[in-house]
Amino acid sequence: MPHQCVKCGKLYPAGCEELLKGCGCSGRFFFFVKDEAVEQAKEVTENLTKVEKNQIESDVLDIVGDKFEDKPVILDFESIKIKKPGKYELDLVDLFKGRPIVYKLQEGKYVIDIISSFAAKNLDKEVE
Amino acid sequence: MIDKLKIFFNKFFAKVFRKKKHVKIGLYGPPNAGKTSLANRICQDWLGEEINMGTVSEIPHETREIQVKEKINIKKKGKEISFNLIDTPGIATKIDYEEFTAFKMNKKKAKERAKEATKGVIEAIKWLDNMDTVVVVLDSTKNPYSQVNITIIGNLAARDIPVLIVANKVDLKKSNMKKIEAAFPQYPIVGVSALKGNNVDEFYEELIKTV
């Protein structure tokens, strides 16, 4: 499954070192894209200006309620497609399934779904 | 499989040990169906006239964060329920800031609203597993066979969460209750006007039955 650097558009396979350290172009934000959607993702990133890419990056972080810190962040391009800042398409079936939307890799082994941990925190605080 | 087992045991123990007063009722549905209007109606009827759960607007995605109102008691025909009410952001497949600029909102604000609305959809879905009962609020003037409605109701059935469908806006001419009933024949459905208060007594009776 390819991962695309949103900043420069370069594709990386799963398990690649760049996904842990960041892209050679200094990008730390990737789309996780299915093979069949690679062309669509390329089209999206090619049509974005630098300002728009930065905006999308910061919007995604805001949506997931997290900071970049030093680890790259990967957005599942199937669950949430962001074609331009302020334009979102959501795959409800995927979201209801509880599939990770945005995640980080740590030590090359663990996938952490940022939103799940974020939502659980909220529930503990407000409902229980 | 493990997840399914977990859900089963959680539900089993929840049913055995749950104190009735901590029942959580969630209001779910597409944007602009009237979830917050219904929440406000419930609060005004049972907590006091001045109490509101959130602001209501003709611009979609007005509620972008989960709102919780605790300890609401409803009594009807000698039966009583006590619950926490959870009003959720509207669930949509597409959120476009241009939808908001059409209401003369400036671009910057509209983009911010789109981002918050997206966050709200994700949050609403993540909260679903914590609900004991869900009231699905639909706009009875609109086509019920939408992807949003069918996905929400299908997922509630899969999770075995009791559902009551509220067909809102029955005071409007375009309202079509028969179409809603034909779309979801296996669920209890009540037609109301949350704004004007039409038929809310029947809604409360059905809610008690569903919980």
Q: DSSP 3-state assignment of B190?
A: strand
Q: Where are the domains of chain A?
A: 3-126
Q: Give the whole-angstrom CA distance, residue B189 versus residue B168.
A: 10
- pLDDT mean over B79-99: 96
Q: So what's the pLDDT on residue A103?
A: 74
Q: Which of the pair, A77 or B31, is modelled with greater confidence?
A: B31
Instruction: For residue B200, name the pLDDT band (cuts at 50, 70, 90).
Output: very high
Using the Cβ of B66 and the Cβ atoms of chain A, whether some distance falls under 8 Å is answered with: yes
pLDDT, one tens digit per residue, over A89-121 is: 999 998 998 877 877 776 555 566 655 555 544
- pLDDT mean over B13-26: 66
Using the Cβ of A117 and the Cβ atoms of chain B, whether some distance falls under 8 Å is answered with: no
On the CB side of B100, how many CA atoms lie within 13 Å of its CA?
24
Instruction: For residue A73, name the pLDDT band (cuts at 50, 70, 90).
Output: confident
- What percentage of chain B reaches a pLDDT higher than 70? 89
Q: Where are the domains of chain B?
A: 20-210
Q: List A113's β-bridge partners, or say none.
A: A103
Q: Which residue of chain B has the CA closest to A80?
A: B118
For residue B190, the distance in angstroms to the closest alpha carbon of chain A comes to: 26
Using the Cβ of B11 and the Cβ atoms of chain A, whether some distance falls under 8 Å is answered with: no
Of the listed ranges A44-58, B16-30, B32-46, B151-165, the least confidently predicted one is B16-30
The closest CB to that of A115, out of B122, B148, B151, belongs to B122
Q: So what's the pLDDT on residue A66?
A: 64
Q: Which tokens is A47 given?
A: 């049509």
For residue B127, the distance in angstroms to the closest alpha carbon of chain A comes to: 8
Specify the CATH architecture of the domain B20-210. 3-Layer(aba) Sandwich (3.40)
Q: DSSP 3-state assignment of A121?
A: helix
For the entire predicted model, the pTM comes to 0.86
Of the listed ranges A107-116, B62-71, B93-102, the least confidently predicted one is A107-116
Q: Give the whole-angstrom CA distance, residue B199 versus residue B211.
A: 19
- Is the confidence at residue A126, as pLDDT, over 60? no
Using the Cβ of B93 and the Cβ atoms of chain A, whether some distance falls under 8 Å is answered with: yes
Q: So what's the pLDDT on residue B59?
A: 95
Could you tell me if A73 and A63 are in contact, meaning their C-beta atoms sit under 8 angstroms apart? no
For residue A13, the distance in angstroms to the closest alpha carbon of chain B comes to: 27
Q: Could you tell me where the beta strands, DSSP code E, fall in B77-199?
A: 79-87, 94-96, 133-139, 163-168, 189-191
DSSP B22: G
pLDDT averaged over every residue in chain B: 92
| CB-based contacts of B37, cutoff 8 Å, min separation 6 | B56, B168, B194, B195
Q: So what's the pLDDT on residue A125?
A: 46
Closest among B89, B69, B24, B154 to A63, alpha carbons compared? B89
Q: Give the whole-angstrom CA distance, residue A44 versus residue A80.
A: 13
